[in-house]
Amino acid sequence: MRITDLMIKETMIMDLQATTKDEAIEELIASLEASGRINDRALFKEMIYKREAESSTGIGGGIAMPHAKTKAVNEATVVFAKSSKGVEFESLDGEPAKVFFMIAAPEGAANTHLRTLAALSRLLIDTDFIGNLMKTQTPDEVSMLFDTKQAEEEAAKKVKEAAKAQQTPDVIVGNPSSDEFVVAVTACPTGIAHTFMAEDALIKKAKEMGVNIRVETNGSEGAQNVLTADEIRRAKGVIVAADKKVEMARFDGKPVLQRPVSDGIRKSEELIRKALNGDAPIYRSEGKGSADESKAEKSSVGSKIYKDLMNGISHMLPFVVGGGILLAISFLIEQVAGEDNVLFQLLQTIGGGTGAFHFLIPILAGFIAMSIGDRPALMPGMVGGLMAVNSNAGFLGGLAAGFLAGYVVIFLRKAFAGLPKTLDGLKPILLYPVFGLLITGAIMFYLFDPIFGGINTWLVNVLNNLGTGNAVILGLILGGMMSIDMGGPFNKAAYAFSIGVFTSSGNTNGAMMAAVMAGGMVPPLAIALASTFFKNKFTEQERKSGLTNYVLGLSFITEGAIPFAAADPLRVLTSCIVGSAIAGGLTQFWQINLPAPHGGIFVAALANHALLFLLAVAIGSVISALILGLWKKPLEAK
């Protein structure tokens, strides 16, 4: 497939009018929508900004490649645009972007489409090609330039493959006469653009330096050009330029540089030189220490704890949502048909204490432990979490069990490091499971379960007996936290706290859950209201996206407000935090109890004061919408 089969002329923008990043994204999306290549503008825009939140797609050199892979796309498409003035796009090199490629890939994109997008990414490493692209005046010239360049690339590839077939298998990309050899892995979350641009940048720089290199790509099609065990053994160093998890155990004992995929594109020479010089930490898949590890660029203790905690929470959330929704439905059925109803009992069994909710704390603890100590820590972490459930140590005990099990396994790896090499095979299948479980279980049984059981009981009693004033303050804090980062650390911390109280009280105390859910529903609803009643302050596309936020807000999907917050963070975040805090505080002032961890308006009927819960959400949303609408400047004044 030709690149121009995806880069259709009808969508090209030869003179982009945008002056800001958000305007550029809007203009590119509008071209996609006008050509019928997307079916849900709001969802596509949300996924574009979600990718931008991970790392800017302004890759430098005047190029920006915003991209998303989502069901909102009807047909794989690349929108080409160029700007004579340049747009500040938060590019990696700090320079304005002048050439834009918005990549829209459907969820079920065919392999041929993905390979074509990868080919496009590789072409953009060529600075001469980009220079020629900037000189084009019409869509026909753009198409001709790409067709010619791709034909040249394909011809060169055939020559290379023919030459490679006559060489020995040990000859790797680069200078065959050089003994210097490194291997690399590139990967980005979407696996469409940055993965392959980093690959080409590393290969190109290695050739200039006279260095042999082999690059494995972890793109949308999965791992390609997978490194062999022999190549890894021969390599002087390993470069992992990735923004997502890749298989690391195979690099045990090798100097490994772990960097963002953008560094593979912009800092390829630095990475290759460091890998060759051994200026990289020795990777230990089993946590064995090394003097070389002092060279590692270590993150702060706080960020490490947060990463481990989020690994547990992210794996726990599907159980919370799935089990919570089924529990909520079961409660509705109970109100109508009674607790003897067969369907009520079925949903209670699947979602409740013997079903999904039974796994919440063990899953949380297990994946926290796995983030710290890798796979050997998963089992003792889950068992420790289960012990916390059975001993009434609850959510806090589960957190402690996860961190305990992870560091117990790290301790065991160091303790067993001196064993003969012949016993290495016994460590993962016998020594770590047995001693990891024994030590974790013993500490949980004799120390953590009693301590955290007491703390948990005290905390639940305090929350159950809070005075109105203190309860309102706590509701204000939890509600406001839901809007600070809309799905980020503060949001997750508030939600995790309310889930902890909810599960520790036998799913009966949903007061904190009411505050958190009300606070989380406010931002998208406030955006929707503001864009509806202050039309002169929002673009047509923003007003259309605002309509989607009515549904997202009612469904307790706070993230629907993220694109608006990204475009105008000061006004949007401030107004939403105020409204969310008020909504959370009102739920506590009116002593609302909502025994369901998710669902928004669809579970509101379960609240002891359902109408007051909806009123709290409405008041918070209206206040936020008024602040935003009055504060935001009319479009004409921009």
Which residues are designated catalytic?
Answer: 67, 188
CA angle 214-219-224, nearest 5°?
40
- The answer to whether 261 touches 194, Cβ cutoff 8 Å, is yes
Concatenate the DSSP letters of all residues of 104-153 into one string: EE-TT--HHHHHHHHHHHHHTT-HHHHHHHHH--SHHHHHHHHHHHHHHH
Q: What are the backbone dihedrals phi and psi of residue 174, each rounded to the nearest 5 degrees, phi first?
A: 130, -150
- The answer to whether 223 touches 148, Cβ cutoff 8 Å, is no
Helix H or strand E segment including 64? strand 63-64
For 638, which DSSP code? -
d(CA 478, CA 480): 5
d(CA 328, CA 598): 8
CA 329 to chain centre: 29
Q: Two tokens at 614? A: 């909806």
Q: In what order do the strands lie in the sheet with 181-187?
A: 222-224, 212-219, 181-187, 237-242, 256-259
Q: What are the backbone dihedrals phi and psi of residue 576, each rounded to the nearest 5 degrees, phi first?
A: -70, -40
Residue that is written with structure tokens 């045990």 in the block: 252
Q: How many CA atoms, within 13 angstroms, populate the side-chain half-sphere of residue 522?
A: 47
Q: What are the backbone dihedrals phi and psi of residue 82, each rounded to the nearest 5 degrees, phi first?
A: -140, 150
- The answer to whether 185 touches 219, Cβ cutoff 8 Å, is no
Percentage helix, strand, coil, to 5, in the chain?
65, 10, 25
Helix H or strand E segment including 101? strand 97-105
Helix H or strand E segment including 544? helix 540-554
Letter for the amino acid at 598?
H
Residue that is written with structure tokens 């004799």 in the block: 446
